[in-house]
Chain A
């Protein structure tokens, strides 16, 4: 909690927004005592700014400065009160509906939806007619008109959190429902509560000013909205008395601006993906002789001393460190490593698909005559998929859910040269048949396919342009073993027919040893061992490779009990060995 407040203060948007808001809060608290009475008729009407009246006078002869300053108090008080109430009511209703579900959810959701479709302005007029006049009326009207949208947001969040395992774990521990809501769900919504409160306050200030400008508020009070109402009534525009409404308008705009800044700052701090990557000092890569050597014959792809850095708040963090390997045409090269070893980063690097925070800081990637690391934007677009394509880990999210399979093939084919829809569909049928799917699935939607079928589509898409190399990033991790074997057998068969090379990335070493011709073992961004699958299996040299190999239980009887020593040994000895072996990354 303290950390998040501290980072909020360091954030520039938050600091600017916070200072503006703080200024207005102080103004609203102490300002009214520093200026004259805003309702007193102190001078002649419609007087422009002068020494006596710094902001001029209104159409009735009141001091504009005093009206603006005093108006801040009720406007902000009502704004924050409504913001808090709307958030509270919305959170209570939404979380209750989302967590309890079923009947309760049905009833509460129906109520919420009814309130959502009631138009706010007529509701405000009707309620305004029956409620006693005063600031409380405004609070009541705006809360009734505004809570429903907020309830929907909180319901969605509660639904998402309810299905998280930690809630189920709390149920199994024996926690009561109310405690689960209060101690497990709500603390996880702190940032949502914060940004909702600010968003709702913004809504409240805007809606309040709007209603009062229309004369639906208490016109006798002094608020920013009534200031504008009287400015309109007293023909400020006709008499060109801009000083009457500009100060109030600027104040409203500034408060809105500060709230927007704060809300976006909270979003960015709680969702780091929205933040721009931190700027790091530019880095001139050293070009070594090994990187510039021409490609030897019989090599399709050559990765030479490749380094990939991530920009973090603490400077550069190297996730791939001087990795070099070659892939021959038609070869299956495997990269194995644990999470954080940099194996996927290398795969994405080959297609220059790294996320914005990551960059290739050193080294060369050569494919034939092409230096992939030096390609410009247009050349890169032509290079991707036509030369090197990719099969992604999550078949679920790699296909576009709103396009049929045929359209996705057409997109891919049309992006690389002219292709009519008819010829694309014909090619798509051909490709689907090739990966063992029925050609008529060309008109199917991704959600109609099982996970294994989707991954077959992913492979067909990757082969659409007959690339020389296909990068496969854990393509079978989410699949059942039977589906996995079917898919991999199909890949090997296609490879021997079409002759493409494969870079296969996985954490599953036994699988890789059966599949790949050569295997590289990655640890902490470094390639610690590269050898043929056969030699890695029988005579691995690096201790980390041997640790990985021994970590997989086998089905054969040979290692039945000896391979798994006692728990005590695992708890004490394996852990330090592992930390010692790991690199400094992550």
Chain B
């Protein structure tokens, strides 16, 4: 097997909590590993506070991890350098959640695209304008001359997000980290942005990490899916497999909460009400889990591989034995 495009191994991040002199730290991300191949879309799903955006910021090198390694094309990028090199920035780009905040209101669309082109030497002063126009056309903003002159406030949310995608594309990256790129957009605009992302993987072989809380979009877009809960990966695998037969109780809970179908509000949620705090050593989901027993509160479940490419971190797996026993009553 060849080296993956982007490979994160056991990434952790903690932040200090409490006052000036406090030594206490809270764990946001606990030994998360993931790989991203060329031309692949990997979805990262989970509730707010699960560590999705923390992981995105680590991979975009906006923050530094406390532990773990990060390899881009086989090279360890964390070793030796404290801040990300320009070369890394040239290969890994990010699209932010809120297109109303990610474009600077005082600069034109053209400025937003010229900067990465110049900074990474992807264009010379002579062909700068034509490159900017080509980028705008590639994300479907035509006529490009008119869009290039506009300011962000003169664009709709969907158009802004296309500019943000164009900015990420300007450096001709290998990896794009898309942090909930459609959650702030109107539904009729969402689809266009999602299709744009999918087109990029097909045409240019870019690998995309798609962060979302919307399982339905993840199902349509992603090849593989990672489910994050309280800073840990609880289930990972091919999207079709994970969503057709979710094995972790939290994945099952997430799926049953997606508004889909007329009787969605009439099916009960597979969750325990009145959840207490997460146990310090056991599984973080145990207080809410309808199947939890004593060992869930005492020991951290190991990673089980019920099938190739399918990872589940749950004690239920070890009692199940045979891997095809996926139908957990919900």
Distance in Å from the Cβ of A479 to the closest Cβ of chain B? 9
- How far is B210's CA from A553's CA once the two chains are assembled, in angstroms? 15
Neighbour of B190 across the interface among A489, A511, A551, A571, CB < 8 A:
A551
Which chain B residues numbered 269 to 285 have a C-beta less than 8 Å away from chain A?
A: 269, 271, 273
Contact A173–B115 (Cβ < 8 Å)? yes
Which chain B residues numbered 62 to 108 have a C-beta less than 8 Å away from chain A?
A: 62, 86, 89-90, 93-94, 96-98, 101-107
New A-B pairs, 18, CB < 8 Å, besides A188-B104, A565-B195: A165-B97, A168-B94, A172-B62, A174-B89, A184-B104, A480-B213, A481-B47, A484-B259, A485-B256, A485-B257, A485-B264, A489-B265, A555-B255, A556-B261, A563-B220, A569-B195, A570-B191, A570-B195
Neighbour of B195 across the interface among A174, A508, A533, A566, CB < 8 A:
A566
Contact B243–A555 (Cβ < 8 Å)? yes
Distance in Å from the Cβ of B114 to the closest Cβ of chain A? 11
Contact A481–B213 (Cβ < 8 Å)? yes
Name which residue of chain B comes closest to A571, CB basis. Answer: B140
Q: Contacts A188-B106, A481-B213, A514-B265 hold; do A174 and B188 have CB atoms under 8 A apart?
A: no
Is B215 located at the chain interface by the 8 A CB criterion? yes
Distance in Å from the Cβ of A361 to the closest Cβ of chain B? 26
Task: Tell me which residues across on chain A come within 8 A of B257, comparing CB atoms.
Answer: 480-482, 484-485
Distance in Å from the Cβ of B47 to the closest Cβ of chain A? 4
Chain A 553-569 against B: per-residue CB contact (8 Å), 1 yes, 0 no?
11110001001111111
Contact A564–B164 (Cβ < 8 Å)? no
- How far is B189's CA from A165's CA once the two chains are assembled, in angstroms? 21
Distance in Å from the Cβ of A563 to the closest Cβ of chain B? 8
Name which residue of chain A comes closest to B260, CB basis. Answer: A555
Contact A173–B167 (Cβ < 8 Å)? yes
Is A574 located at the chain interface by the 8 A CB criterion? yes
Which chain B residues numbered 235 to 268 have a C-beta less than 8 Å away from chain A?
A: 243, 253-265
- How far is B120's CA from A45's CA once the two chains are assembled, in angstroms? 76
Is A164 located at the chain interface by the 8 A CB criterion? yes
Chain A 566-586 against B: per-residue CB contact (8 Å), 1 yes, 0 no?
111111101100100000000
Query: CB within 8 Å of B: which residues of A?
Result: 164-166, 168-175, 183-184, 187-188, 190, 338-339, 436, 451, 480-486, 488-489, 492, 507-511, 513-515, 533-534, 537, 547-548, 551-556, 560, 563-572, 574-575, 578
- How far is B31's CA from A234's CA once the two chains are assembled, in angstroms? 81
Name which residue of chain A comes closest to B101, CB basis. Answer: A165
- How far is B263's CA from A533's CA once the two chains are assembled, in angstroms? 12
Name which residue of chain B comes closest to A340, CB basis. Answer: B186
Contact B86–A166 (Cβ < 8 Å)? no
Neighbour of B216 across the interface among A164, A492, A554, A569, CB < 8 A:
A554
Task: Tell me which residues across on chain B come within 8 A of A564, comparing CB atoms.
Answer: 191, 194-195, 198, 220
Contact B188–A514 (Cβ < 8 Å)? no
Contact A174–B120 (Cβ < 8 Å)? yes
Is B196 located at the chain interface by the 8 A CB criterion? yes
Interface SS, A side: helix
Task: Tell me which residues across on chain A come within 8 A of B199, comparing CB atoms.
Answer: 566-568
Distance in Å from the Cβ of A545 to the closest Cβ of chain B? 11
Query: CB within 8 Å of A: which residues of B?
Result: 47-48, 57, 60-62, 86, 89-90, 93-94, 96-98, 101-107, 115-116, 119-120, 139-140, 157, 164, 167, 171, 186-192, 194-196, 198-199, 213, 215-217, 219-220, 243, 253-265, 269, 271, 273
- How far is B94's CA from A510's CA once the two chains are assembled, in angstroms? 30
Contact B101–A482 (Cβ < 8 Å)? no
Contact B187–A338 (Cβ < 8 Å)? yes
Name which residue of chain A comes closest to B20, CB basis. Answer: A106
Task: Tell me which residues across on chain B come within 8 A of A507, comparing CB atoms.
Answer: 186-187
Contact B187–A548 (Cβ < 8 Å)? yes
- How far is B167's CA from A173's CA once the two chains are assembled, in angstroms? 8
Contact A168–B62 (Cβ < 8 Å)? yes
Contact A171–B62 (Cβ < 8 Å)? yes
30 pairs from A and B in contact (CB 8 Å cutoff): A166-B103, A169-B94, A175-B119, A188-B105, A338-B186, A339-B186, A481-B213, A482-B269, A484-B257, A485-B256, A485-B264, A492-B265, A507-B187, A508-B259, A510-B260, A511-B259, A537-B262, A552-B216, A553-B217, A555-B215, A555-B258, A556-B260, A560-B220, A563-B220, A564-B195, A569-B195, A570-B191, A570-B195, A572-B140, A578-B188
Distance in Å from the Cβ of A507 to the closest Cβ of chain B? 6
Contact B262–A534 (Cβ < 8 Å)? yes
Task: Tell me which residues across on chain A come within 8 A of B189, comparing CB atoms.
Answer: 578
Task: Tell me which residues across on chain B come within 8 A of A172, comparing CB atoms.
Answer: 60-62, 89, 93-94
Name which residue of chain B comes closest to A581, CB basis. Answer: B188
Name which residue of chain B comes closest to A514, CB basis. Answer: B264
Task: Tell me which residues across on chain B come within 8 A of A183, comparing CB atoms.
Answer: 107
Distance in Å from the Cβ of B260 to the closest Cβ of chain A? 5
Task: Tell me which residues across on chain B come within 8 A of A511, comparing CB atoms.
Answer: 259
Name which residue of chain A comes closest to B203, CB basis. Answer: A567
Task: Tell me which residues across on chain A come within 8 A of B104, comparing CB atoms.
Answer: 166, 170, 184, 187-188
Task: Tell me which residues across on chain B come within 8 A of A481, comparing CB atoms.
Answer: 47, 213, 215, 254, 257-259
Name which residue of chain A comes closest to B152, CB basis. Answer: A166
Name which residue of chain A comes closest to B137, CB basis. Answer: A571
Distance in Å from the Cβ of A478 to the closest Cβ of chain B? 9
Contact A174–B116 (Cβ < 8 Å)? yes
Task: Tell me which residues across on chain A come within 8 A of B139, comparing CB atoms.
Answer: 571
Distance in Å from the Cβ of B63 to the closest Cβ of chain A? 10
Contact B115–A175 (Cβ < 8 Å)? yes
- How far is B264's CA from A401's CA once the two chains are assembled, in angstroms? 34
Task: Tell me which residues across on chain A come within 8 A of B271, comparing CB atoms.
Answer: 482, 486
Neighbour of A570 across the interface among B171, B192, B219, B273, CB < 8 A:
B192
Task: Tell me which residues across on chain B come within 8 A of A451, comparing CB atoms.
Answer: 48
- How far is B198's CA from A566's CA once the two chains are assembled, in angstroms? 9
Task: Tell me which residues across on chain B come within 8 A of A565, comparing CB atoms.
Answer: 195
- How far is B193's CA from A551's CA once the two chains are assembled, in angstroms? 12
Name which residue of chain B comes closest to A486, CB basis. Answer: B269
Name which residue of chain A comes closest to B186, CB basis. Answer: A338
